[in-house]
């Protein structure tokens, strides 16, 4: 490992060097996570809100952020935090953070404590550093120019080398979190210096973005403003919403010039209507937006290296995002529907009923049903009180637990040939026990269709995709997997089919403006090849 080339920052050719070996930070990744999981675990959610006009604002900022985080709860359930500013003292922010779900941390009392006209929030699924109180976000640091709070979704691909750089500046870090590292890196003076000792935050942010190409969506709060930032590849989502005066209709087109009571910025738009906000647009890849009580403005759009494409995570469409969120001008639900239609074109089958593995498989199953003309029926009930991941010592117990998570609606199943759609197969823990359930309930045939291609490679950009060895597609081809899980047939959507479904309704066809990361499917990483290493701690 000592002999590895220096893994520093983007090279002049624009090649990103991914810190993939187990280093100081890597060692702490996934610490305390010995549980057996199914699926892809989620990523983080970030949220920010600001009142416009006179301060103190009449908006209930901390309540708005709490509801915003509740809507982003599916992105991370380990811990959450909110930091607010009253806009009067640059040394003091109000902070509430804790382990667990949003509704447990933010009680009426803690929401009251979070006074302010501006604030940011975070809900965490850890990818770098352990799931512990000390790593909860937003991170707050006190600089010579006042306090700074940062909430981060994503994972730095060059974390180790950036860490070394920051430490070389004499800065101490108190955790192994890449998000704390970002917070400290933002405090570095930009190379061009700063006028008269005043901080030039946009220059600092640009400097950080040049040091770290991937992967982040950030909300950064100062005493009186928020910066919303997406990495130049646009890998993680981030969008803008406008809080309209009470009683104004939220439907219809929204433009940035319409009068606003406040602004919100969020990983996903799914919670906007419930907080009285209207979806405006996405933050563009590389864009730095400043939100103040006077409104919003784009400060800069940091470009990618010339030969590199945009790389929005395609799995946001497949699985991570809530179906009622909007990305690239389209509803996630509509894309999943399209994936199901494409799947039916690629892998038709004779069956009596099309059904879904709830939740994420639902929309694709409806798409399959519409395309094939085979009617849709629910055949499984999901117990919402059984968690997504679980600790069990044996395969037998693990499989029994999956079975416990679902129940078969026998009346819909008995004597039927069932075509069952799921959004993804990762480790293969879920689908086998479900097939067994359906057969026990009297299904005569069970055919599996997967609305995404097989996963072959790990993700270095904020998603917990297991090691190659754990990914079932690296052990069994579709035919053998069908046999292994007890299906009559099993087929995946093709990579081209997924891309086609995702892009079919995107207005612009310009390849400079549209691009998706498919690295976990293809092994082609957005910034270039990662340094290969077998000790991946994923």
Ligand X SMILES: O=P(O)(O)OC[C@H]1O[C@H](OP(=O)(O)OP(=O)(O)O)[C@H](O)[C@@H]1O
- # residues near ligand SF4 by CB under 6 A: 11
Q: Which residue lies nearest ligand X, judged by its C-beta?
A: 39
Which of ligand GLN, ligand SF4, Mg ion, none binds 84 (CB below 5-8 Å, type-dependent)? Answer: none
The only residue of 128, 165, 266, 372 in contact with ligand GLN, by rule CB under 6 A: 128
Binding pattern to Mg ion, positions 352-391, x when CB under 5 A? --------x-------------------------------
CB of 74 to ligand SF4, least distance (A): 15
Do the annotations mark residue 313 as ligand-binding? yes
Choosing from 427, 456, 503, 513, the residue that interacts with ligand X (CB under 6 A) is: 427
Q: Tell whether 187 is in a known binding site.
A: no
Half-sphere exposure (Cβ direction) of 457: Cα atoms closer than 13 Å: 17
Q: Is the dihedral of CA 521, 523, 525, 531 positive or negative?
A: positive
Task: Report the residue number, 116 or 462, with the smaller CB distance to ligand SF4.
Answer: 462
Q: Which helix (H) or strand (E) holds 66?
A: helix 61-71
Tell me: cis bond preceding 280? Omega within 30 of 0 counts: no
Closest CA to 173 of 153, 192, 159: 159
Buried b (16+ CB within 10 A) or exposed e, 482-504: beebbbbebbbbbeebbbebbbe
Nearest approach, Cβ of residue 53 and ligand SF4 (Å): 39
Binding of ligand GLN by 125 (CB under 6 A): yes
Tell me, residue by residue from 295 to 324, as one string, x for binding to ligand SF4 by CB under 6 A and - for no binding.
------------------xxx---------
423 annotated ligand binder: yes
Q: Which stretch binds ligand SF4 (CB under 6 A): 95-103, 107-115, 290-298, 515-523?
A: 515-523
**Contact pick of 7, 21, 97, 124 for ligand GLN (by CB under 6 A):** 124
Rounded to whole angstroms, the Cα distance separating 414 from 439 reads: 9
Q: Which does 114 bind (CB under 5 to 8 A by kind): ligand X, ligand GLN, ligand SF4, none?
A: none
Query: Cα separations (Å) of 30 from 21, 155, 430, 438, 440?
Result: 14, 13, 22, 35, 37
Among 429, 452, 464, 518, interactor with ligand X by CB under 6 A: 429
Cα–Cα distances (Å) from 520 to 138, 217, 268, 424, 429, in that order, read 28, 20, 22, 12, 19
Q: Give the interface segment with ligand SF4, choosing from 116-124, 220-228, 402-410, 511-519 (CB under 6 A).
A: 511-519
Binding ligand SF4 (rule: CB under 6 A), the pick from 454, 519, 527, 530 is 519
Q: Of the two residues 360 and 372, which places its CB atom closer to Mg ion in the complex?
A: 360
The verdict on whether residue 339 carries a ligand-binding annotation is no
Consult the annotation and say whether 159 binds a ligand.
no
The percent of the chain in helix, strand and coil, each rounded to the nearest 5, is 30, 20, 50
Other residues' Cβ atoms within 10 Å of the Cβ of residue 311: 25
Among 158, 342, 371, 430, binds ligand X (CB under 6 A): 430
3-state secondary structure of 307: coil
Count CA atoms within 13 Å of residue 208 on its CB side.
31
The contact pattern for ligand GLN, residues 448-477, with x = CB under 6 A and - = no contact, is --------------x---------------
The sign of the torsion formed by the CA atoms of 448, 450, 453, 459 equals negative
- Minimum distance of ligand SF4 from residue 371's CB (angstroms): 25
270 is catalytic: no
Of the residues 135, 278, 360, 464, which one makes contact with ligand X according to CB under 6 A: 360
Annotated binding-site residue? 160: no
Stretch that binds ligand X, among 109-117, 133-141, 250-258, 425-433 (CB under 6 A): 425-433
Which three-class secondary structure state does DSSP give residue 441?
coil
Using the CB atoms, write b or e for 120-155: b if 16+ within 10 Å. bbbbbbbbbbbbeeebbbbbbeeeeebbbbbbbbbb
What is the rounded distance in angstroms from the CA atom of residue 486 to the CA atom of residue 536?
Answer: 31
Closest to ligand GLN by CB, 155 vs 282, is 155
**How many other CB atoms are found less than 10 A from the CB of residue 284?**
16
Residues in the chain: 538
In order, the DSSP letters of 445-497 are: EEEEEESSPPP-S---SS-B---TTT-GGGT--HHHHHHHHT-SEEEE--HHH
**Of 239-247, 332-340, 353-361, 503-511, which segment contacts ligand X by CB under 6 A?**
353-361
Distance of CA 159 to the CA centre of its chain: 18
Q: What's the min distance (Å) between Cβ of 122 and ligand GLN?
A: 8
Among 10, 23, 26, 39, binds ligand X (CB under 6 A): 39
Task: CB nearer to Mg ion: give 127 or 360.
Answer: 360
DSSP-assigned beta bridge partners for residue 352 = none
Figure out which of the listed residues 177, 235, 338, 518 binds ligand GLN, where binding follows CB under 6 A.
177
Min dist. Cβ of residue 520 to ligand X (A): 13
Is 43 one of the binding residues for ligand GLN (CB under 6 A)? yes
The H or E element spanning position 240 is strand 239-243
Strands 417-422 and 445-450: parallel
The three-state (H, E, C) secondary structure of 385-426, written as one string: CCCCEECCCCHHHHHHHHHHHEEECHHHHCCCEEEEEECCCC
Binding site residue list for [4Fe-4S] cluster: 313, 459, 517, 520
Binding site residue list: 313, 360, 422-423, 459, 517, 520
What residues line the site for Mg ion (CB under 5 A)?
A: 360
Enumerate the active-site residues: 44
What residues line the site for ligand SF4 (CB under 6 A)?
A: 235, 313-315, 459, 461, 463, 517-520
Binding site residue list for Mg(2+): 360, 422-423
What residues line the site for ligand GLN (CB under 6 A)?
A: 43-44, 124-129, 137, 152-155, 177-179, 462
């Amino acid at each position: 490992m000592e002999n590895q080339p220096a893994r520093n920052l983007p090279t002049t050719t624009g090649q990103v060097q991914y810190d993939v070996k187990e280093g100081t930070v890597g060692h702490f990744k996934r610490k305390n996570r010995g549980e057996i999981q199914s699926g892809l675990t989620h990523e983080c959610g970030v949220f920010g809100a600001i009142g416009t006009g006179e301060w103190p604002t009449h908006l209930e900022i901390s309540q708005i952020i709490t509801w915003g985080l509740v809507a982003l709860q599916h992105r991370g359930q380990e811990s959450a935090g909110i930091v607010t500013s009253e806009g009067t003292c640059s040394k003091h922010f109000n902070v509430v953070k804790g382990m667990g779900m949003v509704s447990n941390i933010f009680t009426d009392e803690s929401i009251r404590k979070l006074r302010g006209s501006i604030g940011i929030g975070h809900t965490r699924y850890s990818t770098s550093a352990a799931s512990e109180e000390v790593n909860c976000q937003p991170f707050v640091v006190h600089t010579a120019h006042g306090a700074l709070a940062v909430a981060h979704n994503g994972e730095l691909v060059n974390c180790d080398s950036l860490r070394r750089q920051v430490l070389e500046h004499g800065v101490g870090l108190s955790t192994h979190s890449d998000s704390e590292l970002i917070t400290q890196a933002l405090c570095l003076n930009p190379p061009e210096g700063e006028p008269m000792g005043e901080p030039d935050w946009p220059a600092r942010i640009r400097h950080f973005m040049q040091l770290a190409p991937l992967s982040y969506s950030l909300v950064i709060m100062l005493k009186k403003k928020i910066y919303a930032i997406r990495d130049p590849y646009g890998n993680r989502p981030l969008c803008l919403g406008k809080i309209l005066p009470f009683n104004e209709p939220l439907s219809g087109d929204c433009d940035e010039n319409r009068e606003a009571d406040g602004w919100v910025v969020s990983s996903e738009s799914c919670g906007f209507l419930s907080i009285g906000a209207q979806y405006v647009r996405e933050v563009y890849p590389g864009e730095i937006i400043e939100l103040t009580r006077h409104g919003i403005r784009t400060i800069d759009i940091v470009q990618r290296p010339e030969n590199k494409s945009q790389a929005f995570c395609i799995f946001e469409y497949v699985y991570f995002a809530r179906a009622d969120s909007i990305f690239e001008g389209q509803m996630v639900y509509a894309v999943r529907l399209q994936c199901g239609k494409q799947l039916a074109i690629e892998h038709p089958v004779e069956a009596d009923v099309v059904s879904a593995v709830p939740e994420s498989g639902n929309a694709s199953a409806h798409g399959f049903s519409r395309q094939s003309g085979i009617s849709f029926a629910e055949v499984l009930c999901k117990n919402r009180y059984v968690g997504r991941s679980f600790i069990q010592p044996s395969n037998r117990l693990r499989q029994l637990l999956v079975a416990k998570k679902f129940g078969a609606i026998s009346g819909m199943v008995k004597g039927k040939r069932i075509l069952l759609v799921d959004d993804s197969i990762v480790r293969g823990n879920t689908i086998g026990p479900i097939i067994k359930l359906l057969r026990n309930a009297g299904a005569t045939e069970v055919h599996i269709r997967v609305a995404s291609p097989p996963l072959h490679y790990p993700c270095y950009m904020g998603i917990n995709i297991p090691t190659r060895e754990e990914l079932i597609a690296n052990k069994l081809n579709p035919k053998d997997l069908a046999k292994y899980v007890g299906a009559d047939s099993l087929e995946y959507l093709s990579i081209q089919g997924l891309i086609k479904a995702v892009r079919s309704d995107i207005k612009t066809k310009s390849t400079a403006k549209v691009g998706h990361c498919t690295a976990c499917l293809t092994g082609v990483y957005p910034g270039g090849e990662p340094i290969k290493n077998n000790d991946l701690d994923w």
